[in-house]
Amino acid sequence: MRNLFTSGRPFRLVPYFFLLSLLLMAGATVLMAGNLRHYSGEQLLKLEKSRAASLVQIFENSLWADFRPLLPLARDRARLKQVAGQPRLREAVIRLMRGTDVIRVKMYALNGITLFSTDPGQIGEDESDDDGFRSAAVGTPASELAHNHSIDAFERTLTDRDIISTYVPMHDPAGKIEGVLEIYLDATSFVVDSDRQLRWVTLAICALMAVLFLAQMLVVRLAGRIIDRQAAALSETNRELDNRVAARTWELANANANLEGEIQERRRAEERLDHLAHHDPLTGLPNRLLFQKRLSRALSVPDLPAYKLAMLFIDLDRFKDVNDTLGHYIGDQLLNAVAARLASSMRAEDMLARLGGDEFICVLENIANRDVAADVAGKLLALFQQPFCINGNDLYLSVSIGISFASHDGADVDTLLRHADIAM
């Protein structure tokens, strides 16, 4: 019997589980950390967008009257730089934004031309292809976070800063969009603090994953040991079962051999009994029982023609004198010799039988006519012209033969036998 646990290469549960769990937990940790970073950035932009909207409202309330005259100059860049570059405008914006995280302010016309910037060199630039500007120009504020290695603030240059730029639409008293204001906010401290918190959260997630991984490994190792023990027990059970099956198979094979021998012996015994039941024990010729069965079967053929089957009744003359004078032993030997001589003259399809004592019967089947039976009887009579040599003595015998024919003299065994006896 094949052992499922020992056939082929064994399945190594613990190493496979270790690699799979490690990969899954590492992937889960990276995914959660990425989602936290993304969520943190989104929240920061949302917060700063709200702050920028408040600052724009302050700008509109305080300075928009001073900056609205710049709108008609969007198509005259030379005049625009002359007017927008006045120090008083820049100083007014710096005073308004002092004490906040704002480090730069820019104002755009609806065609994308920079009408004002706290960096005078940017006045007149075309920003119409900027996605944030286009979004704010149609009424939707937009923000983006970027890391700058160097950026000019109001009064100084800042390095390695995380800057959030927010585009907010400017409205006239009727609520119509007149321009776009871009406010740059320094979010470095918030980003640094957020990164620090994110690192701690990531470390906490990694620690929890490690604890979970170790707990799973302990459970799997325990399960692996249990499976190994069960596999060993099953293997031992399979070996015992194989041994039992082999022993049982051997026993069955021997039993089958013995049974086959008994069957053969019984068959031979049955054949011997059948032979004894249907044959003469002295001469080995068919006895009266077999003779009657054979003749009855031959007579059962429908519409059997006359003279097609003949019965020869053979009787040894004065055989009793042989038994009385020479003894039954010589008589039995003489009967064997007579049976052998008669049988040698029979056809293969004919039957010679001994009825008992000195009486023999010969059944001739499929003969052409009654003369054939007479010829056979003459041949049998001729056999007795030669003496029988028994124990060195020549014994002469004569026989009497009577013939009866099926359908002519009778249609059953007893009738034919009686007519043949009468004819003898």
**Nearest Cα to Cα of residue 34 among 200, 252, 198, 181:** 198
Q: Please give the DSSP secondary-structure letter assigned to residue 113.
A: B
Whether 358 is a known active-site residue: answer yes
Query: Can you list the alpha helix ranges (DSSP code H) found in 309-412?
Result: 319-326, 328-343, 370-383
Sign of CA dihedral 37, 39, 45, 48: negative
- Identity of the residue numbered 11: F
Query: How far, in Å, CA of 9 to CA of 16, rounded?
Result: 14
Q: Tell me if 44 sits within 8 A of 144, measured CB to CB.
A: no
**Nearest Cα to Cα of residue 89 among 66, 121, 70:** 66
> Around 16, how many Cα atoms within 13 Å sit in the side-chain half-sphere?
5
Query: How far, in Å, CA of 382 to CA of 384, rounded?
Result: 5
Strand pairing report for 102-109 and 177-186: antiparallel
Paired with 315 in beta bridges are: 359, 400
Residues in contact with 350: Cβ distance below 8 Å, sequence separation at least 6, in sequence order: 362, 363, 364, 365
Considering 242, 358, 409, 412, which one is annotated as catalytic? 358
3-state secondary structure of 415: helix
Paired with 171 in beta bridges are: 177
Structure tokens given for 309: 């089957």
DSSP secondary structure string for all residues of 210-278: HHHHHHHHHHHHHHHHHHHHHHHHHHHHHHHHHHHHHHHHHHHHHHHHHHHHHHHHHHHHHHHHHHHHH
Catalytic positions: 358
